[in-house]
Amino acid sequence: MSTEQETKQSISNPKLKEFKSLLEEDFKERKLKENEIIKATVTEITKNFVVVDCKAKMEGMIPIEEFKYDKEFDKLKVGSSVEVYLERIESFKGEIVISREKAKRMVAWKKMEKVFETQEEVTGYITGKVKGGYVCTVDGLPTFMPSSQIDVRPLKKVDHLMNVPVKVIATRIDRKRGNLCTSRRAVLEKSKNAELKEALKNLKEGDIVENAKVKATTDWGIFLDIDGIDALLHVSDLSYGRVKKPSDLVTIGQSLKVKITKIDKATNRVSASIKALTEDPYENLSKKFKIGEIYEGTCTKLMDYGVFVKLEEGIEGLIHNSELSWQNRNVQPSKVLSPSQNVKVKIINIDKDAKRISLSYKETLANPWTKVMNSVGQKVKIKIKNITDKAIFGELDSGLVGMLHYKEINYDEKQEYLNKFKKNDMIEVKIIDVKDEKIRFSKRALDKDPLDWFKENNKKVGDIITTRVHEVMKTGVKVSVDNEKKIIVSIRKVDLAKSSADARPEVFSPGNALDAKITELDLDKRKIKLSVKAAQIDEEKSLVAKFGEGATKSGATLKGIFEKALGRKSTKKKDK
């Protein structure tokens, strides 16, 4: 019989036709929808699969591994009802595609969304390690647990937490990416905080605890255990004095007597203090110490900005860098004092409110500035410490450093004189000024000032003096005023003669005598100005005043007046 004949026979068979109709009607009532969770009944459990009836055209098969994770397989039996995720009603092979694991994940995700809102604790399993943390599976849903959230303190090993049930809280959820973060630490802290709040009911601020155990020490404080409550004893609460390291004062396990100074109910943090048990030494500070008095102390700590000195137990003062040395205001503290050194200090200021005492070490030593201020005008020896392009810096026997400007080396005021000296040379100078703790030296002041010539010869502004041409320049000439040629003055071209024709520098030669008028003379500023032109004008006025009265009316000429003044006779050439 052919296939076509069999088909015709089945259609004509009323029983088959009725069965087909009932089957189609049953499928319509089941209303299966893809991508949803449906209920299925276990019909068979094989070695590798769990066969379930989903009321579809055929039974579905789920790998056993999807049931073994949370021991669900141990309770599974034929007839058990399980929820599965329907991916496809019919694949290209004609099979139904379902998943128990995806169903559990979908249920778990919805559950975790509610848990995140309520911060409810759930049970999870740490199943593996990933970059930055661990995988924590909650009801089949893998979540990320950062390394910092596995415990309240860093753990070197987590083997004891792997694949065992742990309580966690959802701390972050990203619905778009399907990411979820969990924390075991939050559960532990929550539990600890609850216990801590209960314990804190028996503790209040101001209580004195006789037996606080030292748990750990750091550079900034000590951690204490007070009947199971963690407390911090900050380094500033150890003593009224300065403490270098808390570990130098206590050991782990040691019992301390402390006073509870603060309890933060929001964070459950407890602060304790030892110095609160003793009287504040700064309360009676004015009775013990007075400004301007000298006291003995011990150097406790050297800093870049100064030295701390203990005056008595719990009371310290600071010697600022500027108060360490008379010679150097920015001296390095280690070059003057050393730790544990006993020193005498002078109190220069007390700030009771800020609990600060300002001290001076240099005030207890002889002030070299007093001596040097009384030495202005005296000859001294200095050691060259440094040479710059403008000056020499030299040190006195007292250690004070002063400046010798290049203009004070010689009366010539030439900068090249600096090249004659080198570092560590000993030279003689005179102290010419001390002001604002600055010293000025002069080497030329040891010699006679050439400008004293004007005083010795009683020369002043308006006098006419005879000079000698020293050097001829394009802009004028230089002339020597004295015979030793120590006073050299420049005369500008416009001041060389009354007539511009005679004011050419090239008509002069070294050694020529020139009568010039002193038009400016300031010995303090060492400023001298001479003018040949002014001398000629003055001489002309003098001659006219003496011999030329009425000369204009009589027809006398200026040439004739000069010749008469000079004692010459005018001669006329006779024609031969």
- What gap in Å lies between CA 326 and CA 439, rounded to an integer? 13
Superfamily for domain range 202-277: Nucleic acid-binding proteins (2.40.50.140)
What is the C-alpha separation between 431 and 376, in angstroms, rounded? 5
**Within its chain, how far is the Cα of 428 from the centroid?**
46
| DSSP string across 68-82 | HTTT-GGG--TT-EE
Evaluate whether 547 touches 536 at the Cβ level (below 8 Å).
no
Q: What does the alpha-carbon distance between residue 254 and residue 214 come to, in Å, rounded to a whole number?
A: 5
Q: How far apart are CA 543 and CA 549, in angstroms?
A: 10
In the chain, list all ranges with CATH 2.40.50.140.
25-102, 119-190, 202-277, 285-364, 368-446, 452-539
Output the CA–CA distances (angstroms, integers) from residue 96 to 23, 54, 87, 104, 376, in the order listed.
17, 9, 8, 18, 113
Average pLDDT of the chain, as a whole number: 82
pLDDT of residue 313: 82
- In CATH terms, 25-102 corresponds, of 3.60.15.10, 3.30.700.30, 2.60.420.10, 2.40.50.140, to 2.40.50.140
What residues pair up with 359 in beta bridges, in sequence order?
319, 347
Q: How many CB atoms lie within 10 A of CB 393?
A: 17
The pLDDT value recorded for residue 560 is: 58
| Cβ(496)–Cβ(532) below 8 Å | yes
DSSP tally for the chain: helices H, then strands E: 11, 30
* pLDDT in the model for residue 375: 86
Which phi and psi (to 5°) does residue 555 adopt?
85, 15
Residue 215 CB partners (closer than 8 Å, separation 6+) = 223, 224, 225, 230, 252
| HEC per residue, 321-389 | HHHCCCCCCCCCHHHCCCCCCEEEEEEEEEECCCCEEEEECHHHCCCHHHHHHCCCCCEEEEEEEEECC
- Looking at residue 332, what is its pLDDT? 92
195 membership: H or E segment, kind and range: helix 185-200
Tokens of residue 343, six digits: 């020193």
Q: Structure tokens of 96?
A: 């139904």
Q: What local confidence, expressed as pLDDT, does residue 553 receive?
A: 44
From residue 486, alpha-carbon distances to 289, 412, 452 in Å are 64, 8, 11
Q: In what order do the strands lie in the sheet with 81-88?
A: 60-63, 49-53, 36-45, 81-88, 97-99
Fold that domain 119-190 belongs to in CATH: OB fold (Dihydrolipoamide Acetyltransferase, E2P) (2.40.50)
| 382, 394 contact by CB (below 8 A) | yes
Whether residue 61 contacts residue 51, with contact meaning beta carbons closer than 8 Å, is answered with yes
Look at residue 563 in the predicted model and tell me its pLDDT. Answer: 58
Residue 20 pLDDT: 63
Q: Alpha-carbon distance 86 to 376, whole Å?
A: 107
Q: What digits encode the pLDDT tens for the residues 203-241?
A: 888 888 888 888 888 888 889 888 777 888 888 888 877
Scored b (16 or more CB within 10 A) or e, 133-169 reads: bbbbbbbbbbbbbeeebbeeeeeeeeeebeeeebebb
Q: Does domain 368-446 have CATH number 2.40.50.140?
A: yes
pLDDT < 50 positions in the chain = 1-3, 550-555, 569-576
Task: Please tell me the CATH code under which domain 285-364 is placed.
Answer: 2.40.50.140
**Fold category of 452-539 in CATH:** OB fold (Dihydrolipoamide Acetyltransferase, E2P) (2.40.50)
144, 187 contact by CB (below 8 A): no
Cβ distance 355 to 282 under 8 Å?
A: yes
State how far the Cα of 391 lies from the Cα of 264, in Å rounded to an integer. 65
Residue keyed to tokens 């050694």: 511
Q: In the prediction, which pLDDT does 85 show?
A: 73
Q: Is the separation of the CB atoms in 258 and 233 below 8 Å? A: yes
Q: State the SS3 of 86-150.
A: EEECCCCCCCCEEEHHHHHHHHHHHHHHHHHHHCCCEEEEEEEEECCEEEEEECCEEEEEEHHHC
Burial annotation 343-365 (CB, 10 A radius, 16+ → b, else e): bebbbbebeeeeeebbbbbbbee
Q: How far apart are CA 200 and CA 203, in angstroms?
A: 5
Q: Which run of H or of E encompasses 38? A: strand 36-45
Quote the pLDDT of residue 46.
82
Tokens of 100: 């128990």
Q: Is 420 left (phi over 0), alpha (psi -120 to 50) or beta?
A: alpha
What local confidence, expressed as pLDDT, does residue 338 receive? 92
